[in-house]
Structure 1
Amino acid sequence: MTPVRDLAAFEWPASRPARAFAWRPGQRHRPGLAFMSATGRLHGFKSLAERRVLLALDFVGGMTEVLSQPFTLKFTTCQRPVRHTPDFLALTRGTALLIDVRPADLIKPDDALKFAAAQRAARAVGWHYAVVAGWRPQPWAALEALSARRRAMSDPLGLLPELLELTAEQSRRLGELVAATSWPTLARAYLLHLLWSRRLTLDLALPLGDESWIYLPRRG
């Protein structure tokens, strides 16, 4: 058992999930394993909503480790002792993000109590905390499409400098950009890879398609 004040100093990479991921006939949720390019390995999830969180974390990047079911938080209310296991702990350089996943229409008062305790524990050690209660349809559809090209790709035809040079000249619509390359069909697949790795960028609030504007990312 570890006090909350010592969570930040715990050796998380060597830890194991607080709860096992079980598969059995007739269960209503959809557990599984999802690959993350950020860590190069599979991560457990208990539902499709949690799988989406792993995909979003992979896209955001900057994670040094992502742990499923990282620990069980034990606390006591005026009425009873309570246990809560957050869904993910995403470690970054210098801090961490503790995450709970629950669709908004399924959050009950008891869940809200547990989330409040998890948020307080996270703040006590300098972490961030979030409850993922849903997704806007357009950004999620775009992430799903981009994730198909998230693994490393070779570039024997030199599409990378060509796509970057064309976009540096001016921002272009996706269909126009790939059509201006030497190999349009192959450039489309490589462009999705560049968007996933954020060598190029677009507005995820809008539908992804040939009319999407493609930009060079701003450098701070």
Structure 2
Amino acid sequence: MTTLVRWGYVPVVLIGINGAAAYRGAVHASELWAVALIITAVVCSFAAERILPYRVEWNSSLEDAGRDTIHDVVNESFILASVAVIPVLAAVMPFHDWWPAEWPFVVQLLFAILIADFGITTVHLASHRVGWLWRLHAVHHSVGRFYGLNGLMKHPVHQALEMATGVLPLILLGIPVNVASALTAGWTVPRQRSLPIRPGR
């Protein structure tokens, strides 16, 4: 089972689940499929982490699950609300002439991912270098072990800054609803996991 997780997790999540999210957006499938994909991704991630933890001791509680669950619920709710509003704002924004809508759907989605991740990464990098941002970001680095529930342990203000820098450029460029919808499902796929997924480890 550990071999299956080691070699199968990344392809299943990156290609399978994200690919399904992209396809769902391309064909304008029901939003319920996005919910199903998100739930599938979360279940796969937590199961993989239990089967193949980066460190076995990280599967043992440090009596931090309650705190981490609260952080996770607050921050995940904020993330879901933030990304759920992208398709809504995309539908009402008047700037659609700025978006490269003539590009193939997959290229538009990759463009959206690059813009969003650039904004988030910029805030993250600044958070390690700017004092007041570090004080907000330090919450994320205060954990005693890494596991699924504390990957989103962030100060809500810091989370808001990251999301705003990732989402606002897309909205201002006039991201189409179907691209925004595909981005939303793919974006919420769990990204910070403590899995030893490097081949050969």
Structure 1 length as normaliser, TM-score? 0.22
Question: Higher helix fraction: Structure 1 or Structure 2?
Answer: 2
TM-score, normalisation: structure 2: 0.23
Higher relative contact order (CA 8 A, sep 6+): 2
Q: Radius of gyration: which is bigger?
A: 1
Structure 1 or 2: larger strand share? 1
